[in-house]
Structure 1
Amino acid sequence: MSLAENIAKVNANIAAAAREAGRDPSEIALVAATKVQTSDTIRQAIAAGVTICGENRVQEMTAHLADNAYDGAALHFIGHLQTNKVRQVVGRVELIESVGSAHLLDAIEAQAAKLDLVQDILLEVNIGGEESKSGIAPEELPALVKQAAACPHVRLRGLMTIPPVAGPDGNRPFFAKMRQLFVDIRSQMDDNKTSFTCLSMGMSGDYENAVREGATLVRVGTALFGPRPPMHKG
């Protein structure tokens, strides 16, 4: 199948899963995970209807920005962000989805203050408690939400997660737990409720179940672009 056909198929699957769950398909946005893709491929994806691109690596993102590869689409940063690379990301993306520590949040606030702008973010939750993954533990989330609320140059838009690898339906309990966490946190917020609308979860192997459990953003790469090519060396 062509890239355009893959995009159409994924969007159709998202819509079908949403309707199955009694949701409006327009509530869910597809984020095309463009890791290791070329600028030309990114342009083709946008021409075929992709409206949001998600980058995992700062170096690749910077190169694609220089190529104007994302023109016509919003840009999210969805990978692990090191604090020493925050200045290369803040103000250059619409949303940083992967803020999983107080230290990183502080660095983003400081850089956004220097640029005199407000950076939209999601807080990353390590919903499966995996040592190999970044993100805040669920029980530590309220404190990080409170910290974000005190940052004048950061706007908290919601939550993001990467659940443990499981079978076809194995991730649904984790997605359901994230949805409940999202609802609970939102109900406790004194303000910012109108901005706290994003729940980013689900990738190529499980995005339909993520939609069934309440995702508003799904981050899909392989199902759109096929198996990833090897990383460039050097």
Structure 2
Amino acid sequence: MAKLILLNKPFNVLSQFSDSDGRCTLKRYISQTNVYPAGRLDYDSEGLILLTDNGQLQANIANPKYKMEKTYWVQVEGLPKESDLDCLRKGVTLKDGDTRPAKVKKINQPDIWPRNPPIRQRNNDTTCWLEIKISEGRNRQVRRMTAHIGYPTLRLIRASIGNWSLDALAPGESKELNIHMPAQPSKPLSKKATGRRHSKARPTANRKPKR
């Protein structure tokens, strides 16, 4: 049995428990001890991050060889054409090599919380929301992918990792699951909720995502 914590990481929070520069870290939102992030989420990105006390589970989630799919809601500057999105669907060449084909589609703005501070946007700017699914975890990969096709990312929210999703977690809120570990790492992981929910959400984060 392994412990798994699902946290909706707020904007401008480091995916670690300490920082020599005094920036906000996971310590503000996670009181449990002996749990560690399974993968990372950029300081200026929001959404789902997973923490666990089990090394095998951590590796299953974070290691790219298991190809665990991650879903992102991405607000980009401009209105990309389908031909632009086809580039991402086929894979693009970044400085660190070719990306795997991504699943990409335009979506309506998700029912999400307001960001604090809001994105920098002029009144006449046009933006678009995309749902992007990838099975890799390169540094700032989604942002680099959208920039590569000419549409910079303005806001990025990770909505799900594998079978785990934000559901109704507000920013700063977390919930804890018990995970039954498989005999072989490659087999699907089953999950069982303990019913414990931990909230350290900021007062302004009163809107919750829906799937």
Q: Same fold (TM over 0.5)?
A: no
Q: Name the structure where helix makes up a greater proportion of residues.
A: 1
Q: If the length of structure 2 is used for normalisation, what is the TM-score?
A: 0.28
Q: If the length of structure 1 is used for normalisation, what is the TM-score?
A: 0.26
Q: Name the structure where strand makes up a greater proportion of residues.
A: 2
Higher relative contact order (CA 8 A, sep 6+): 2
